[in-house]
Structure 1
């Protein structure tokens, strides 16, 4: 009898971890910080974490769509660097200085178009040329940041432009603007995935690409579209980082963001084999990734250890995914 009760309890714990592991992990991190991390409940700490979470979440949502089709995108950090490098070059140019409003508009629009073009390149490589996603996106992973550094001559670009900086420092109802932006994007993408034909094809491709092809679905176009969305969101995140810092550093903007985005997507419930696109799960994953980083740094742990922790988080998330299949 006692053996049966014990086994039932173990099964209940496994079901809790497998079904709500992300929420359990988040609650554990929050409780730890409330108890042991100084100043964790201060508004300034909240604002800092929201700012950092928003950029991770925005990129992670794009990554979630890519993973949902059975792909991966290693170029998101490089696209962030490229978009972030282009923006100050535009509004700090003679034309931008002479036409402030138009300069800021172009400083947002043109980098976003370049980011979308990068996504288009990745999508064509994967969907039309049948290059493995990890290889196709590795091209921009290597070259994108190099192009950004060439554009800026490897120099840090500093600026003072309140209109552009609003992307990273503005507040709406007392909360950071980029936080609201991330929520808006999440709602929009959730609608796309759950209510549109495009969304159904995204999930179908990840679930069984061959079946999606045989049913006459536009597999190549959907894949290209997904990589373009991912590129656009990476570009937007790059602009936000530059706006927060009032400076563009092509060497550091988006550095290791591909790791954060993949970790957030997987922790949020995305299946590496494809077929699922938990958009709000990506936000949950981004919150966990950021809080782990913040917790370690706030308690005097070296930044390098955070990389090990992220790898551990991915490992646990993959284990949970495998356990769900059993």
Structure 2
């Protein structure tokens, strides 16, 4: 039986078993990888099935997932954001400084509100800056966001004098240590954000334009689409979510370390977004895929560390995951 040259299928219309297997792996590779990681850890990693291990992993996954969902929106426009870790550091540096102020001590409720609202506002402004650089000044996204990647963490360290900033505020700490129905609060928060963003992408005009800009920016512009506003909005949401992740990290530790908060998060977020199905050329925004990718990235890191493999190897593994995900994307086009 011969193969048709256009599809690679047999003349009878059926595909060889090996082709079917490869196609399924391309489309469901993330789920397969997750199952493999879960089974491996359940069998070979001590204490993996303990509740404490679950809580730790959910806490770590939540911050990656929140940033990865924002990164997914940016990638959907055909861009990239290297500044997410620096924005986390900047937002995280502001909260303790507000708690340490006389205003927050005199007015605890207003101080708590300011410690959440002001860092998130600054984070959103950072996103607007990135979006304006990309959409108005036409700077390449990797260069535009590199500016804040370098300066954002530097500003955070200047604000804190390079020192660890500690504070005590149980209400704020709930962001990182609270539980709902026995599960970490930040896990529920990540899920709520996912549902909201899924609705935005699927049901709103902004979401339709977001995918249109990434799919064909020139066509979107010629059809009268608000290309600049959509790009600025995507970068602003990404930075805002990075600010939330930065506050969660600070709340977990009741301290802010500008040198460490969000360090290498841009790698985790990009990896999670790509593994979750985001196309680097734009046009797709798989929000729940970003959560799947975040779980995989966290489990890879946990698996290596729990089995005595150095953290540096985890970085190499993440890089290889990105390469593999990009390869799978390329094969989908063929």
Alignment TM-score, normalising by the size of structure 1: 0.98
Within a 5 Å distance, the mapping from 1:19-98 to structure 2 comes to: 19-98=27-106
Unaligned runs of 5+ in 2: 4-9
Q: What is the aligned counterpart of 2:112 among 104, 116, 120?
A: 104
* CA apart distance, 1:15: 1.3
* CA apart distance, 1:98: 1.6
- Alpha-carbon distance between aligned partners in 1 of 2:27 and 2:276, rounded to the nearest angstrom: 11
1:72-105 deviations in Å (ceiling 9; x for gaps): 0000000000000000000111111121111111
- Alpha-carbon distance between aligned partners in 2 of 1:89 and 1:230, rounded to the nearest angstrom: 24
Indicate whether 1:279 and 2:287 are aligned: yes
Q: What is the aligned counterpart of 1:314 among 304, 313, 322?
A: 322
SS in 2 for 1:198: helix
Indicate whether 1:244 and 2:252 are aligned: yes
Alignment TM-score, normalising by the size of structure 2: 0.95
* CA apart distance, 1:126: 0.5
What is aligned with 2:270? 262
* CA apart distance, 1:266: 0.1
Q: Report how many aligned residue pairs link the two structures.
A: 324
- Alpha-carbon distance between aligned partners in 2 of 1:247 and 1:292, rounded to the nearest angstrom: 27
SS in 2 for 1:41: coil
Indicate whether 1:139 and 2:147 are aligned: yes
* CA apart distance, 1:173: 0.9
Indicate whether 1:125 and 2:124 are aligned: no
Poorly superposed stretches of 4+, deviation over 2 Å: none
What is aligned with 1:206? 214
Indicate whether 1:17 and 2:39 are aligned: no
* CA apart distance, 1:131: 0.5
1:36-64 deviations in Å (ceiling 9; x for gaps): 00000000000000000000000000000
Give yes or no for contact 2:127–2:238 (8 Å, CA) kept in 1.
yes
- Alpha-carbon distance between aligned partners in 1 of 2:222 and 2:113, rounded to the nearest angstrom: 44
SS in 1 for 2:279: coil
SS in 2 for 1:155: coil
1:112-143 deviations in Å (ceiling 9; x for gaps): 00000000000100011100000000000000
* CA apart distance, 1:159: 1.9
- Alpha-carbon distance between aligned partners in 2 of 1:296 and 1:91, rounded to the nearest angstrom: 37
* CA apart distance, 1:16: 1.5
SS in 2 for 1:39: coil
- Alpha-carbon distance between aligned partners in 1 of 2:218 and 2:188, rounded to the nearest angstrom: 38
- Alpha-carbon distance between aligned partners in 2 of 1:131 and 1:179, rounded to the nearest angstrom: 35
What is aligned with 1:229? 237
- Alpha-carbon distance between aligned partners in 2 of 1:251 and 1:303, rounded to the nearest angstrom: 18
